[in-house]
Amino acid sequence: MKLIGKILLGLLLTAGAVLGYLSFRKPDSVAPSTVKVEATPERLKRGEYLFTTLSDCDGCHSERDWSKFGAPVLAGRRGVGTVMPPELGLPGRVAPSNITPDVETGLGSWTDGEKIRAIREGVSKDGRALFPMMPYTYYRSMSDEDVYSLVAYMNSLPPVRNAVPRTDLDFPVGLMIKGVPKPSGAVAQPDRGDKLKYGEYLTSIGVCGECHTQAERGELKMDKAFAGGREFQIGRFIVHSANITPDETTGVGTWDEQRFVKRFKDYGNFNLNGSPTANQSNFTLMSWPAMSQLDEDDLKTIYAYLRTLKPIHNPVDSHPAQPNPN
């Protein structure tokens, strides 16, 4: 009995030590750079493209009309922050911040270097680790010039006073995420002449793999990377992400470049005529009207990269029938 007591005491002391370490641990980070981003016309244009289209910052940081297909951004609510719907099954309250330049409730008191560190390294102004639903593990590869452009555009947003509650994660997730942030260092501009490498870069900062890969307890199942089937629910609607590997029967293996580009460009008319009402048969997290504005060459480059992925057979019912509430 004494031996068992000693073992139990040892386990308790070990658990306490681990808990204490995680509680006081600081995320791996470096001091933010002292850079002051110059807002050139080229950077503002590129930054808007990244924010609204390729990297889809609107997807989490803007208030959107979920009653409409593609959930367009509500007028005047770009970047104001929001609280993620509980149906998504997140570990606690996840509230993407107000990232407009409002001093009191947004990023108006942040330096450009602090914004860059948050975007690419996942560390807030106050040194907190950000919940990695903010895809800084992907943005870590974002080039210096692209992140400067993104910050320049964010700085140009109208400041909107909108207090968003702080993210409050369940135990032990709030402790475990402290190990996710990592310094990015300097990141060179990708070579657009290398189509496959540039396609990989666009796919990464477009965070395509995150939604198009199934996850279990928050961890992506990399044996099914890009094979779709991840479930998302907003309100009463449910969608499963598509298989975008080059599998010929369940993915996009039979698609040619023209069909891939057309899939995006066909939604361009919604920007002019407005999105139709959302229903279970068309519900999506993809901001198709915004993504219809992706540069055609970028789409062709992304297509070329996706063709190099391992084909994975994974049938997906993107819009499953809703259960009868009765």
pLDDT tens sequence across 43-67: 999 999 999 999 999 999 999 999 9
Whole-angstrom Cα distance, residue 260 to residue 253?
11
4 has pLDDT over 70: no
Q: Which residue has the tokens 């990399």?
A: 222
What does the pLDDT look like over 202-261, one tens digit per residue?
999 999 999 999 999 888 999 999 999 999 999 999 999 999 999 999 999 999 999 999
As a residue count, the chain comes to 326
Confidence class for position 15, pLDDT limits 50, 70, 90: very low
What does the pLDDT look like over 162-185, one tens digit per residue?
999 999 999 999 999 999 999 999
Cβ atoms within 10 Å of 267's Cβ, excluding its own: 19
Whole-angstrom Cα distance, residue 263 to residue 198?
21
29 has pLDDT over 80: yes
Q: For the whole model, what pTM was predicted?
A: 0.91
Report pLDDT for 321.
85
Task: Give the mean pLDDT of the chain.
Answer: 92
- Dump the DSSP string for 223-253: GGTT----EEEETTEEEE----SS-TTTSST
129 forms beta bridges with 123
Over residues 177-196, the mean pLDDT reads 95
Whole-angstrom Cα distance, residue 235 to residue 87?
7
Confidence class for position 274, pLDDT limits 50, 70, 90: confident
2 has pLDDT over 60: no
Confidence class for position 3, pLDDT limits 50, 70, 90: low
Over residues 276-298, the mean pLDDT reads 95
Report pLDDT for 16.
44
Backbone angles phi, psi at 92, to 5 degrees: 110, -165
326 has pLDDT over 60: no
Whole-angstrom Cα distance, residue 160 to residue 106?
8
Over residues 106-134, the mean pLDDT reads 97
323 has pLDDT over 70: no
Between 162 and 29, where is the model more confident? 162
